[in-house]
Amino acid sequence: MAPPDTRTATVAGVTVDTRHWIGGARVASASRATFTDRSPIDGAPLAEIARGGPGEARAAVVAARNAFPGWAATPPAERARLLHAVADGVEARIEDLAIVETTDNGALLASHRRGVMPRVAHNLRYFADRLLALGHDDFDTRGHTNHVSWDPAGPAVLITPWNAPLMLASWKIAPALAAGSTVVLKPAEWTPLTASLFADIAHEAGLPPGVFNVVQGYGDEVGAPLTGDPDVRRISFTGSVPTARRIAEAAAAHLVPCSFELGGKSPLLVLADADLELAADLAVEQYDNAGQVCLAGTRILVEESVRDAFLGHFLDRVTKLTQGDPRDEATDIGPNIHPRHIERVDGFVRRALEAGAKAVTGGGRNTALGGNYYLPTLLTDVAQDSEIVQEEVFGPVLTLQTFPDGDDDEAVRLANGTRFGLAATLATGDRERARRITARLVAGTVWVNCFFVRDLSAPFGGSRQSGVGREGGDWSFDFYCDLKNTVTAPVGSPLVERGRERGEGREARHG
């Protein structure tokens, strides 16, 4: 017997519609199939979510395709106004969005209230404003005028991860809509709830039907049909390298441009001349969101002479961290996302320990809390070619290696010694040395004596297997648009005059 057609759920006192949002209306799956969404905090079921398939994927793309001409023709000032209206709606519901997302993905409620959800509104406002400033000065070629314009590309499929569901989605939604493209969003199946709330907010703000759509479900059931649809003109994906490969294969059939923000295994270099207290603060910050941050500097590389001093500062800070319910203001580290994921994290650590690594702190599950809680872990005695150093764990697990004093070549070799290149962090008191080292680091973003400072005007993305393309600023518009250069001959040029003469001759013959 098919499960009941569940339409809404109440999550932390907030009503969330569990159906898809397609063409400006709520749509249940044709099969009436659902999947269960559970909270990582305690494993409790939160909702039965409509489980999409090829039919829902196709319907959403058709809705986006049909809405595209009207949205593309909407004047930029009106598109910007509507994005600001959506941002107003987000700000009016920050508390609802924050508590629902914390319940759904386990990240700290305080962070969602104060930083993450306000950033969603900021992302929308930034790209709305950037749209109105978008432009390139006309330039001359032998008296001819070149004019560059950004033409909306068409329906865009956006596939987003579970570690910061709505904020990461808004990094894609805002520029896509500002550019005049229409959107089909597929949120991660482990965290679908705030995408549904966002659909309500966008509708209430006045986005036309079909401009923004949400389809829920599993990657192989609904994601694959979306990425293989011939009417899709852009695909943006944040997630794993293997999934990106499958998406690229599907997109290749129709030559659809893709933007990928993928895994990371970023280094955090601590030089002997660094402020070691600052360095320790930066290192402990890598446990943010239970280590489920793609940019995290999980490989700590320390100059040998300051290893012990750095480690002392670091452990002093780790012992003061509070792990527990993310809804509690006193909590510093919450749970990992899912039982399957925490088993993966623990597997990495167990194999590293069996291979000879030592756990200076942590090294296993938090047995006092149970469930999805994993202790903040630091492993030493790890080899550069070991799995724990080379592969993304995506949990609260850091490794520590050293390099000889003054040996910048070895520091750079270790830092660049993985297949990834998403980010890097450097702690040093020597600006000139910082300049020399950062110039040699393979990374899309490098932070010096800071971490996770991101301006939306800056390019964001990864090198090597950490991604393809860049988001942010005009780079986002370059992706969600087709750039056009229009070349116009000057008035009075010989070709123009000959054309005018031929036209006058035709008029005389047919007069």
Examine the residue annotation and report whether 261 is marked as an active-site residue of this protein. Answer: yes
Residues of the chain with confidence (pLDDT) below 70: 1-6, 492-511
For 291-313, how does the pLDDT look when each residue is reduced to its tens digit (9 = 90+)? 999 999 999 999 999 999 999 99
* Cβ atoms of 45 and 38 closer than 8 Å: yes
Q: Give the C-alpha separation, 122 to 136, whole Å.
A: 24
Q: What is the per-residue pLDDT for 459?
A: 93
**Closest alpha carbon to 168 in 450, 466, 447, 460:** 460
* Cβ atoms of 414 and 384 closer than 8 Å: yes
Task: Indicate the SS3 state at residue 142.
Answer: coil
Catalytic residue among 48, 189, 258, 294: 294
Residue 104: count other Cβ atoms within 10 Å of its Cβ: 29
Q: What is the per-residue pLDDT for 491?
A: 83
Going through 291-443 in order, the beta strands assigned E by DSSP cover 299-303, 358-361, 377-380, 397-403, 423-427
Q: Give the C-alpha separation, 4 to 19, whole Å.
A: 12
Q: What is the per-residue pLDDT for 2?
A: 43
Q: Give the C-alpha separation, 20 to 60, whole Å.
A: 9
Q: What is the per-residue pLDDT for 464?
A: 96
Residue 112: count other Cβ atoms within 10 Å of its Cβ: 28
* Number of residues that this document lists for the chain: 511
Examine the residue annotation and report whether 189 is marked as an active-site residue of this protein. Answer: no
Cross-strand bridge partners of residue 159: 186, 237
Distance of CA 283 to the CA centre of its chain: 22
Q: What is the per-residue pLDDT for 506?
A: 44
**Closest alpha carbon to 94 in 127, 123, 129, 119:** 119
Name the pairing type of β-strands 144-152 and 481-488.
antiparallel
Q: What pTM was computed for the model?
A: 0.93
Q: Give the C-alpha separation, 475 to 256, whole Å.
A: 17
Q: Look up residue 374 and give its DSSP letter.
A: B
Catalytic residue among 261, 303, 392, 471: 261
